[in-house]
Structure 1
Protein backbone atom coordinates (compact mmCIF):
# COMPACT_ATOMS: atom_id res chain seq x y z
CA UNK A 1 0.00 0.00 0.00
CA UNK A 2 1.38 3.41 -1.01
CA UNK A 3 -1.21 5.71 0.53
CA UNK A 4 -3.15 3.76 3.18
CA UNK A 5 -2.39 1.62 6.21
CA UNK A 6 -4.71 -0.33 8.44
CA UNK A 7 -4.71 -2.52 11.52
CA UNK A 8 -7.35 -4.50 13.41
CA UNK A 9 -7.48 -4.71 17.21
CA UNK A 10 -10.28 -5.84 19.51
CA UNK A 11 -12.79 -6.17 16.65
CA UNK A 12 -12.12 -2.57 15.46
CA UNK A 13 -10.17 -1.64 12.32
CA UNK A 14 -8.34 1.67 11.88
CA UNK A 15 -7.63 2.85 8.35
CA UNK A 16 -5.20 5.76 8.00
CA UNK A 17 -4.79 7.92 4.90
CA UNK A 18 -1.07 8.67 4.50
CA UNK A 19 -0.65 10.70 1.33
CA UNK A 20 1.29 13.93 2.03
CA UNK A 21 0.82 16.78 1.96
CA UNK A 22 -2.97 17.02 2.10
CA UNK A 23 -4.15 13.39 1.84
CA UNK A 24 -5.82 14.41 -1.41
CA UNK A 25 -7.99 11.64 -2.83
CA UNK A 26 -6.34 10.05 -5.84
CA UNK A 27 -7.09 7.04 -8.00
CA UNK A 28 -4.38 5.24 -6.03
CA UNK A 29 -6.16 5.90 -2.73
CA UNK A 30 -9.46 4.73 -4.20
CA UNK A 31 -7.86 1.53 -5.51
CA UNK A 32 -6.13 0.81 -2.21
CA UNK A 33 -9.26 1.58 -0.20
CA UNK A 34 -11.16 -0.90 -2.35
CA UNK A 35 -8.47 -3.52 -1.67
CA UNK A 36 -8.66 -2.90 2.08
CA UNK A 37 -12.43 -3.30 1.98
CA UNK A 38 -11.89 -6.69 0.32
CA UNK A 39 -9.56 -7.72 3.15
CA UNK A 40 -11.80 -6.40 5.91
CA UNK A 41 -14.77 -8.31 4.54
CA UNK A 42 -12.86 -11.47 5.49
CA UNK A 43 -12.52 -10.30 9.12
CA UNK A 44 -15.38 -12.28 10.64
CA UNK A 45 -15.13 -10.64 14.06
CA UNK A 46 -14.99 -7.03 12.80
CA UNK A 47 -17.62 -4.73 14.32
CA UNK A 48 -16.43 -1.16 13.59
CA UNK A 49 -14.02 0.73 11.33
CA UNK A 50 -12.32 4.05 12.10
CA UNK A 51 -11.18 6.14 9.12
CA UNK A 52 -8.63 8.89 9.81
CA UNK A 53 -5.94 10.96 8.15
CA UNK A 54 -2.26 11.29 9.02
CA UNK A 55 -0.67 14.75 9.24
CA UNK A 56 -2.52 18.06 9.14
CA UNK A 57 -5.71 16.94 7.38
CA UNK A 58 -8.27 14.19 7.16
CA UNK A 59 -8.40 14.80 3.41
CA UNK A 60 -8.26 18.24 1.85
CA UNK A 61 -9.91 17.34 -1.44
CA UNK A 62 -9.35 15.32 -4.57
CA UNK A 63 -6.09 15.13 -6.50
CA UNK A 64 -6.42 18.13 -8.83
CA UNK A 65 -3.46 17.02 -10.93
CA UNK A 66 -5.41 13.95 -11.99
CA UNK A 67 -8.19 16.18 -13.33
CA UNK A 68 -5.86 17.25 -16.15
CA UNK A 69 -5.76 13.62 -17.27
CA UNK A 70 -9.52 13.17 -17.04
CA UNK A 71 -10.99 10.64 -19.43
CA UNK A 72 -14.66 9.88 -19.95
CA UNK A 73 -16.52 6.58 -19.95
CA UNK A 74 -14.96 3.76 -17.97
CA UNK A 75 -12.06 6.05 -16.99
CA UNK A 76 -14.44 8.49 -15.28
CA UNK A 77 -12.96 8.87 -11.80
CA UNK A 78 -16.38 9.89 -10.43
CA UNK A 79 -17.80 6.44 -11.18
CA UNK A 80 -14.80 4.81 -9.50
CA UNK A 81 -15.10 6.98 -6.38
CA UNK A 82 -18.84 6.46 -6.11
CA UNK A 83 -18.46 2.68 -6.34
CA UNK A 84 -15.93 2.60 -3.48
CA UNK A 85 -17.96 4.99 -1.32
CA UNK A 86 -21.10 2.93 -1.90
CA UNK A 87 -19.21 -0.09 -0.55
CA UNK A 88 -18.37 1.86 2.60
CA UNK A 89 -21.98 2.96 3.08
CA UNK A 90 -23.20 -0.63 2.64
CA UNK A 91 -20.41 -2.29 4.65
CA UNK A 92 -21.33 -4.88 7.28
CA UNK A 93 -19.58 -2.89 10.04
CA UNK A 94 -20.13 0.84 10.69
CA UNK A 95 -17.49 3.27 9.43
CA UNK A 96 -16.61 6.19 11.73
CA UNK A 97 -14.75 9.15 10.23
CA UNK A 98 -12.38 11.00 12.57
CA UNK A 99 -11.96 14.41 10.91
CA UNK A 100 -9.27 16.93 11.81
CA UNK A 101 -7.80 19.82 9.87
CA UNK A 102 -10.03 19.67 6.82
CA UNK A 103 -12.44 17.43 4.95
CA UNK A 104 -12.98 19.19 1.65
CA UNK A 105 -14.33 18.08 -1.71
CA UNK A 106 -13.66 14.39 -2.16
CA UNK A 107 -12.51 14.23 1.45
CA UNK A 108 -15.93 15.30 2.69
CA UNK A 109 -17.64 13.01 0.20
CA UNK A 110 -15.62 10.12 1.62
CA UNK A 111 -16.59 11.13 5.17
CA UNK A 112 -20.27 11.41 4.20
CA UNK A 113 -20.20 7.80 2.98
CA UNK A 114 -19.28 6.78 6.52
CA UNK A 115 -22.01 6.00 9.02
CA UNK A 116 -20.76 8.56 11.58
CA UNK A 117 -18.52 11.62 11.55
CA UNK A 118 -16.71 13.19 14.50
CA UNK A 119 -14.82 16.43 13.88
CA UNK A 120 -12.49 18.84 15.60
CA UNK A 121 -14.05 22.18 16.45
CA UNK A 122 -11.91 24.17 14.01
CA UNK A 123 -11.87 21.68 11.13
CA UNK A 124 -12.87 23.04 7.73
CA UNK A 125 -15.72 21.07 6.17
CA UNK A 126 -17.05 21.76 2.69
CA UNK A 127 -17.43 21.14 -1.03
CA UNK A 128 -15.36 23.79 -2.86
CA UNK A 129 -15.69 22.32 -6.37
CA UNK A 130 -17.70 25.20 -7.87
CA UNK A 131 -14.75 27.48 -7.15
CA UNK A 132 -12.87 25.44 -9.76
CA UNK A 133 -15.70 25.55 -12.25
CA UNK A 134 -16.63 21.90 -11.64
CA UNK A 135 -19.16 20.07 -9.44
CA UNK A 136 -18.89 17.35 -6.77
CA UNK A 137 -18.58 13.92 -8.35
CA UNK A 138 -18.22 11.41 -5.52
CA UNK A 139 -21.77 11.73 -4.21
CA UNK A 140 -21.63 15.19 -2.64
CA UNK A 141 -24.79 16.54 -4.25
CA UNK A 142 -26.73 13.45 -3.15
CA UNK A 143 -25.48 12.81 0.39
CA UNK A 144 -25.07 16.36 1.72
CA UNK A 145 -28.81 17.24 1.50
CA UNK A 146 -29.62 14.10 3.49
CA UNK A 147 -27.62 15.43 6.42
CA UNK A 148 -28.20 19.19 6.29
CA UNK A 149 -31.37 19.63 4.19
CA UNK A 150 -31.74 21.03 0.70
CA UNK A 151 -31.38 24.74 1.52
CA UNK A 152 -28.12 24.40 3.47
CA UNK A 153 -26.75 21.97 0.88
CA UNK A 154 -27.43 24.49 -1.88
CA UNK A 155 -25.69 27.18 0.16
CA UNK A 156 -22.60 25.10 0.88
CA UNK A 157 -22.23 23.76 -2.66
CA UNK A 158 -23.09 26.92 -4.60
CA UNK A 159 -20.96 29.30 -2.50
CA UNK A 160 -18.15 26.72 -2.19
CA UNK A 161 -17.57 28.06 1.33
CA UNK A 162 -16.71 25.57 4.11
CA UNK A 163 -18.15 25.47 7.61
CA UNK A 164 -16.15 24.85 10.76
CA UNK A 165 -16.48 21.71 12.83
CA UNK A 166 -18.79 23.17 15.45
CA UNK A 167 -21.26 24.34 12.80
CA UNK A 168 -20.98 20.96 11.03
CA UNK A 169 -22.16 19.32 14.25
CA UNK A 170 -24.91 21.92 14.76
CA UNK A 171 -26.41 21.34 11.29
CA UNK A 172 -26.26 17.54 11.50
CA UNK A 173 -23.30 16.97 9.20
CA UNK A 174 -21.20 15.67 12.10
CA UNK A 175 -22.16 13.75 15.20
CA UNK A 176 -20.06 15.89 17.52
CA UNK A 177 -17.26 18.47 17.51
CA UNK A 178 -14.44 18.03 20.02
CA UNK A 179 -11.02 19.48 20.74
CA UNK A 180 -8.31 18.17 18.42
CA UNK A 181 -6.38 16.43 21.17
CA UNK A 182 -9.56 14.57 22.19
CA UNK A 183 -10.66 13.38 18.75
CA UNK A 184 -9.03 9.96 18.42
CA UNK A 185 -9.67 8.91 22.00
CA UNK A 186 -13.31 9.95 21.64
CA UNK A 187 -13.79 8.05 18.38
CA UNK A 188 -12.04 4.99 19.77
CA UNK A 189 -14.40 4.98 22.75
CA UNK A 190 -17.38 5.11 20.38
CA UNK A 191 -15.95 2.24 18.32
CA UNK A 192 -15.23 0.19 21.45
CA UNK A 193 -18.79 0.70 22.66
CA UNK A 194 -20.14 -0.56 19.33
CA UNK A 195 -17.73 -3.50 19.37
CA UNK A 196 -19.14 -4.60 22.72
CA UNK A 197 -22.56 -5.17 21.14
CA UNK A 198 -23.87 -8.28 19.37
CA UNK A 199 -22.73 -8.53 15.76
CA UNK A 200 -26.10 -9.72 14.38
CA UNK A 201 -27.91 -6.75 15.91
CA UNK A 202 -25.29 -4.32 14.56
CA UNK A 203 -25.63 -5.72 11.06
CA UNK A 204 -29.43 -5.58 11.09
CA UNK A 205 -29.41 -1.92 12.21
CA UNK A 206 -27.06 -1.09 9.32
CA UNK A 207 -29.60 -2.56 6.92
CA UNK A 208 -32.65 -0.93 8.54
CA UNK A 209 -31.63 2.72 8.82
CA UNK A 210 -31.17 3.20 5.02
CA UNK A 211 -34.83 2.23 4.59
CA UNK A 212 -35.64 5.81 5.59
CA UNK A 213 -34.37 6.92 2.16
CA UNK A 214 -35.05 3.83 0.07
CA UNK A 215 -38.57 2.70 0.98
CA UNK A 216 -41.91 3.82 2.38
CA UNK A 217 -42.53 4.03 6.12
CA UNK A 218 -44.85 1.04 5.94
CA UNK A 219 -42.28 -1.08 4.12
CA UNK A 220 -39.56 0.00 6.54
CA UNK A 221 -41.70 -0.93 9.55
CA UNK A 222 -42.44 -4.35 8.11
CA UNK A 223 -38.72 -4.92 7.51
CA UNK A 224 -37.96 -3.84 11.09
CA UNK A 225 -40.55 -6.24 12.53
CA UNK A 226 -39.22 -9.14 10.47
CA UNK A 227 -35.63 -8.43 11.46
CA UNK A 228 -36.65 -7.97 15.11
CA UNK A 229 -38.07 -11.48 15.12
CA UNK A 230 -34.92 -12.84 13.48
CA UNK A 231 -32.62 -11.14 16.00
CA UNK A 232 -34.86 -12.08 18.93
CA UNK A 233 -34.22 -15.76 18.15
CA UNK A 234 -30.40 -15.42 18.38
CA UNK A 235 -28.28 -16.73 21.23
CA UNK A 236 -27.08 -13.19 21.90
CA UNK A 237 -30.63 -11.94 22.42
CA UNK A 238 -31.22 -14.65 25.03
CA UNK A 239 -27.94 -13.78 26.72
CA UNK A 240 -28.66 -10.04 26.66
CA UNK A 241 -32.10 -10.42 28.23
CA UNK A 242 -30.77 -12.86 30.83
CA UNK A 243 -27.90 -10.52 31.71
CA UNK A 244 -30.32 -7.60 32.12
CA UNK A 245 -32.47 -9.60 34.54
CA UNK A 246 -29.39 -10.72 36.45
CA UNK A 247 -27.99 -7.17 36.48
CA UNK A 248 -24.69 -8.01 34.82
CA UNK A 249 -22.93 -7.24 31.56
CA UNK A 250 -23.88 -9.56 28.70
CA UNK A 251 -21.26 -11.86 27.19
CA UNK A 252 -22.17 -11.83 23.53
CA UNK A 253 -20.84 -14.57 21.24
CA UNK A 254 -22.06 -12.94 18.01
CA UNK A 255 -24.50 -15.78 17.38
Structure 2
Protein backbone atom coordinates (compact mmCIF):
# COMPACT_ATOMS: atom_id res chain seq x y z
CA UNK A 1 0.00 0.00 0.00
CA UNK A 2 2.97 2.29 0.56
CA UNK A 3 3.81 4.66 -2.29
CA UNK A 4 7.38 5.61 -3.15
CA UNK A 5 6.83 9.36 -2.89
CA UNK A 6 5.39 9.13 0.62
CA UNK A 7 8.23 10.35 2.81
CA UNK A 8 6.46 11.47 6.00
CA UNK A 9 3.72 8.87 6.35
CA UNK A 10 3.56 5.12 5.95
CA UNK A 11 0.65 2.81 5.24
CA UNK A 12 0.50 -0.93 5.71
CA UNK A 13 -2.27 -3.49 5.71
CA UNK A 14 -2.77 -6.11 8.38
CA UNK A 15 -5.48 -8.26 6.84
CA UNK A 16 -8.62 -6.09 7.11
CA UNK A 17 -6.98 -3.32 9.17
CA UNK A 18 -4.98 -0.44 7.70
CA UNK A 19 -2.19 0.96 9.85
CA UNK A 20 -1.54 4.60 8.99
CA UNK A 21 1.58 6.08 10.59
CA UNK A 22 2.69 9.70 10.81
CA UNK A 23 6.43 9.53 10.20
CA UNK A 24 7.87 13.02 10.51
CA UNK A 25 9.93 12.75 13.72
CA UNK A 26 10.81 14.00 16.20
CA UNK A 27 7.57 16.00 16.54
CA UNK A 28 5.53 14.73 13.56
CA UNK A 29 4.64 18.29 12.63
CA UNK A 30 1.67 18.41 10.26
CA UNK A 31 3.43 20.10 7.38
CA UNK A 32 1.78 20.74 4.04
CA UNK A 33 3.69 17.76 2.66
CA UNK A 34 2.40 15.50 5.40
CA UNK A 35 -1.18 16.66 4.93
CA UNK A 36 -0.97 16.00 1.18
CA UNK A 37 0.34 12.49 1.74
CA UNK A 38 -2.24 11.85 4.47
CA UNK A 39 -4.98 12.90 2.06
CA UNK A 40 -3.72 10.46 -0.58
CA UNK A 41 -3.52 7.63 1.95
CA UNK A 42 -7.08 8.24 3.14
CA UNK A 43 -8.28 8.14 -0.47
CA UNK A 44 -6.50 4.82 -1.03
CA UNK A 45 -8.03 3.35 2.12
CA UNK A 46 -11.51 4.51 1.18
CA UNK A 47 -11.19 2.84 -2.23
CA UNK A 48 -10.14 -0.52 -0.79
CA UNK A 49 -13.21 -2.57 0.18
CA UNK A 50 -11.02 -5.11 1.94
CA UNK A 51 -10.08 -2.59 4.63
CA UNK A 52 -12.69 -2.40 7.36
CA UNK A 53 -10.94 -0.35 10.06
CA UNK A 54 -7.99 2.02 10.44
CA UNK A 55 -5.42 2.48 13.17
CA UNK A 56 -3.75 5.88 13.17
CA UNK A 57 -0.46 6.16 15.04
CA UNK A 58 2.81 8.10 14.94
CA UNK A 59 6.47 7.16 14.78
CA UNK A 60 9.03 8.22 17.38
CA UNK A 61 8.87 8.46 21.14
CA UNK A 62 8.34 12.17 21.76
CA UNK A 63 5.12 13.09 20.02
CA UNK A 64 2.05 11.86 18.22
CA UNK A 65 1.93 15.26 16.54
CA UNK A 66 3.00 18.55 18.08
CA UNK A 67 0.95 20.77 15.81
CA UNK A 68 0.98 22.47 12.43
CA UNK A 69 3.97 24.07 10.75
CA UNK A 70 4.07 27.51 12.39
CA UNK A 71 6.56 28.79 9.81
CA UNK A 72 3.63 29.42 7.49
CA UNK A 73 1.75 31.68 9.92
CA UNK A 74 3.63 35.03 9.69
CA UNK A 75 2.79 35.48 6.00
CA UNK A 76 -0.90 34.61 6.30
CA UNK A 77 -3.62 36.93 5.03
CA UNK A 78 -7.35 36.53 5.57
CA UNK A 79 -7.63 34.80 2.21
CA UNK A 80 -4.67 32.46 2.67
CA UNK A 81 -5.79 31.79 6.24
CA UNK A 82 -9.13 30.55 4.95
CA UNK A 83 -7.39 28.35 2.39
CA UNK A 84 -5.05 26.95 5.05
CA UNK A 85 -7.71 25.87 7.51
CA UNK A 86 -10.17 24.70 4.88
CA UNK A 87 -7.55 22.33 3.48
CA UNK A 88 -6.97 20.80 6.90
CA UNK A 89 -10.69 20.60 7.65
CA UNK A 90 -11.37 18.84 4.35
CA UNK A 91 -8.76 16.16 5.04
CA UNK A 92 -9.79 15.66 8.66
CA UNK A 93 -13.48 15.54 7.68
CA UNK A 94 -12.70 12.89 5.07
CA UNK A 95 -10.96 10.80 7.70
CA UNK A 96 -13.84 11.30 10.14
CA UNK A 97 -16.48 10.43 7.55
CA UNK A 98 -14.94 7.21 6.31
CA UNK A 99 -14.17 3.84 7.85
CA UNK A 100 -13.81 3.50 11.63
CA UNK A 101 -10.56 5.08 12.85
CA UNK A 102 -8.91 4.16 16.15
CA UNK A 103 -6.19 6.57 17.17
CA UNK A 104 -3.22 5.38 19.25
CA UNK A 105 -1.91 8.49 21.02
CA UNK A 106 1.42 8.84 22.78
CA UNK A 107 3.64 11.73 23.82
CA UNK A 108 2.56 15.19 22.75
CA UNK A 109 -0.70 15.75 20.87
CA UNK A 110 -0.93 19.51 20.54
CA UNK A 111 -2.70 21.99 18.30
CA UNK A 112 -3.43 20.50 14.90
CA UNK A 113 -2.12 17.19 16.25
CA UNK A 114 -4.90 17.07 18.83
CA UNK A 115 -7.39 18.19 16.19
CA UNK A 116 -6.38 15.16 14.13
CA UNK A 117 -6.89 12.97 17.20
CA UNK A 118 -10.34 14.49 17.71
CA UNK A 119 -11.28 13.67 14.10
CA UNK A 120 -10.89 9.94 14.83
CA UNK A 121 -13.75 7.76 16.04
CA UNK A 122 -12.09 6.21 19.09
CA UNK A 123 -9.02 7.49 20.95
CA UNK A 124 -6.66 5.34 23.02
CA UNK A 125 -4.11 7.41 24.94
CA UNK A 126 -1.13 6.46 27.04
CA UNK A 127 -0.88 7.75 30.60
CA UNK A 128 2.15 9.89 29.72
CA UNK A 129 0.36 11.69 26.89
CA UNK A 130 -0.08 15.48 26.94
CA UNK A 131 -3.03 16.84 24.95
CA UNK A 132 -3.71 20.50 24.35
CA UNK A 133 -4.74 23.31 22.04
CA UNK A 134 -2.22 26.14 22.62
CA UNK A 135 -3.16 28.25 19.60
CA UNK A 136 -4.39 31.30 21.53
CA UNK A 137 -0.82 31.71 22.78
CA UNK A 138 0.17 32.25 19.14
CA UNK A 139 -2.59 34.77 18.53
CA UNK A 140 -4.82 32.36 16.63
CA UNK A 141 -7.40 29.68 17.44
CA UNK A 142 -7.75 26.00 16.55
CA UNK A 143 -8.69 25.99 12.86
CA UNK A 144 -8.90 22.34 11.86
CA UNK A 145 -12.21 21.71 13.64
CA UNK A 146 -10.89 21.80 17.21
CA UNK A 147 -13.36 24.33 18.59
CA UNK A 148 -16.26 22.26 17.29
CA UNK A 149 -15.16 18.67 17.87
CA UNK A 150 -13.81 19.34 21.35
CA UNK A 151 -17.06 21.04 22.34
CA UNK A 152 -19.10 18.07 21.13
CA UNK A 153 -16.89 15.63 23.02
CA UNK A 154 -16.33 17.42 26.31
CA UNK A 155 -18.88 20.24 26.40
CA UNK A 156 -18.47 24.01 25.95
CA UNK A 157 -17.04 24.62 29.42
CA UNK A 158 -14.16 22.18 29.03
CA UNK A 159 -13.56 23.36 25.47
CA UNK A 160 -13.27 26.95 26.66
CA UNK A 161 -11.00 25.95 29.53
CA UNK A 162 -8.55 24.19 27.22
CA UNK A 163 -8.67 26.59 24.28
CA UNK A 164 -8.74 29.90 26.16
CA UNK A 165 -5.98 28.93 28.59
CA UNK A 166 -3.94 26.85 26.17
CA UNK A 167 -3.00 24.58 29.07
CA UNK A 168 -2.51 20.89 28.20
CA UNK A 169 -4.17 17.92 29.88
CA UNK A 170 -2.48 14.77 31.08
CA UNK A 171 -3.66 11.48 29.63
CA UNK A 172 -5.61 10.78 32.82
CA UNK A 173 -7.27 14.21 32.84
CA UNK A 174 -8.16 13.85 29.15
CA UNK A 175 -9.72 10.47 29.86
CA UNK A 176 -11.73 11.85 32.76
CA UNK A 177 -12.91 14.76 30.59
CA UNK A 178 -14.08 12.46 27.81
CA UNK A 179 -11.46 13.45 25.22
CA UNK A 180 -10.19 9.88 25.00
CA UNK A 181 -12.07 6.61 25.41
CA UNK A 182 -9.31 4.42 26.82
CA UNK A 183 -6.27 5.14 28.99
CA UNK A 184 -3.41 2.64 28.88
CA UNK A 185 0.14 2.41 30.25
CA UNK A 186 3.03 3.91 28.30
CA UNK A 187 3.88 1.91 25.20
CA UNK A 188 0.56 0.05 24.99
CA UNK A 189 -1.67 2.34 22.91
CA UNK A 190 -0.87 0.80 19.53
CA UNK A 191 -1.35 -2.79 20.69
CA UNK A 192 -4.71 -1.87 22.22
CA UNK A 193 -5.74 0.00 19.08
CA UNK A 194 -4.92 -2.96 16.85
CA UNK A 195 -6.97 -5.34 18.99
CA UNK A 196 -9.96 -2.99 18.96
CA UNK A 197 -9.66 -2.41 15.21
CA UNK A 198 -9.58 -6.16 14.59
CA UNK A 199 -12.69 -6.59 16.70
CA UNK A 200 -14.52 -3.90 14.73
CA UNK A 201 -13.27 -5.30 11.41
CA UNK A 202 -14.74 -8.72 12.28
CA UNK A 203 -18.27 -7.31 12.37
CA UNK A 204 -20.59 -6.72 9.41
CA UNK A 205 -19.11 -3.77 7.47
CA UNK A 206 -22.47 -2.42 6.29
CA UNK A 207 -23.78 -2.52 9.86
CA UNK A 208 -20.64 -0.74 11.11
CA UNK A 209 -20.99 1.95 8.45
CA UNK A 210 -24.68 2.55 9.17
CA UNK A 211 -24.17 2.54 12.93
CA UNK A 212 -21.47 5.18 12.53
CA UNK A 213 -23.77 7.27 10.32
CA UNK A 214 -26.56 7.02 12.90
CA UNK A 215 -24.28 8.13 15.73
CA UNK A 216 -22.49 10.90 13.85
CA UNK A 217 -25.62 12.23 12.20
CA UNK A 218 -27.88 11.85 15.20
CA UNK A 219 -25.72 13.93 17.51
CA UNK A 220 -26.66 16.99 15.46
CA UNK A 221 -30.40 16.25 15.61
CA UNK A 222 -33.21 16.23 18.12
CA UNK A 223 -33.90 12.90 19.82
CA UNK A 224 -36.95 12.32 17.65
CA UNK A 225 -35.10 13.12 14.41
CA UNK A 226 -32.13 11.04 15.54
CA UNK A 227 -34.39 8.06 16.12
CA UNK A 228 -35.84 8.48 12.65
CA UNK A 229 -32.30 8.35 11.29
CA UNK A 230 -31.65 5.22 13.34
CA UNK A 231 -34.77 3.58 11.88
CA UNK A 232 -33.63 4.43 8.37
CA UNK A 233 -30.15 3.02 8.99
CA UNK A 234 -31.64 -0.16 10.48
CA UNK A 235 -34.08 -0.67 7.62
CA UNK A 236 -31.26 -0.45 5.05
CA UNK A 237 -29.64 -3.46 6.71
CA UNK A 238 -32.76 -5.60 6.97
CA UNK A 239 -32.45 -7.23 3.56
CA UNK A 240 -28.68 -7.56 3.37
CA UNK A 241 -26.85 -10.84 2.97
CA UNK A 242 -24.71 -9.90 5.96
CA UNK A 243 -27.78 -9.76 8.20
CA UNK A 244 -28.85 -13.22 7.08
CA UNK A 245 -25.31 -14.52 7.58
CA UNK A 246 -25.04 -12.94 11.03
CA UNK A 247 -28.27 -14.50 12.26
CA UNK A 248 -27.42 -17.87 10.74
CA UNK A 249 -23.94 -17.87 12.27
CA UNK A 250 -25.39 -16.97 15.67
CA UNK A 251 -27.88 -19.83 15.62
CA UNK A 252 -25.22 -22.25 14.35
CA UNK A 253 -22.75 -21.04 17.01
CA UNK A 254 -19.99 -20.22 14.54
CA UNK A 255 -18.06 -17.15 13.42
CA UNK A 256 -19.90 -15.14 10.78
CA UNK A 257 -18.31 -14.63 7.36
CA UNK A 258 -19.43 -11.13 6.40
CA UNK A 259 -19.00 -10.00 2.80
CA UNK A 260 -20.26 -6.44 2.97
CA UNK A 261 -23.31 -7.25 0.88
Partner of 1:66 in structure 2? 72
Partner of 1:177 in structure 2? 183
Q: Which runs of 4+ in 1 moved over 6 A?
A: none
Partner of 1:22 in structure 2? 27
Partner of 2:136 in structure 1? 130
The reply to whether residue 81 of structure 1 matches residue 88 of structure 2 is: yes
SS of equivalent to 1:96: strand
Please, which of 238, 250, 260 is the counterpart of residue 254 of structure 1?
Answer: 260
The reply to whether residue 57 of structure 1 matches residue 63 of structure 2 is: yes
8 A contact 2:11–2:21 mirrored in 1: yes
SS of equivalent to 1:41: helix
CA–CA distance in structure 2, aligned partners of residues 227 and 79 of structure 1? 30
User: Cα RMSD between the aligned structures?
Assistant: 1.4
8 A contact 1:100–1:123 mirrored in 2: yes
CA–CA distance in structure 1, aligned partners of residues 36 and 75 of structure 2? 17
- TM-score by structure 1 length? 0.95
SS of equivalent to 1:97: strand
Deviates more, 1:202-211 or 1:240-249: 240-249
Question: Structure 2: where are the runs of 5+ without partners?
Answer: 1-5
Q: CA deviation at 1:98?
A: 0.7
CA offsets per residue over residues 89-118 of structure 1, 9 Å max, x none? 111x11111100011000000110111111
CA–CA distance in structure 2, aligned partners of residues 252 and 129 of structure 1? 45
CA offsets per residue over residues 216-245 of structure 1, 9 Å max, x none? 222221221122122121111111112222
Question: Structure 1: where are the runs of 5+ without partners?
Answer: none
Paired residues, what number? 254
The reply to whether residue 212 of structure 1 matches residue 218 of structure 2 is: yes
Partner of 1:9 in structure 2? 14
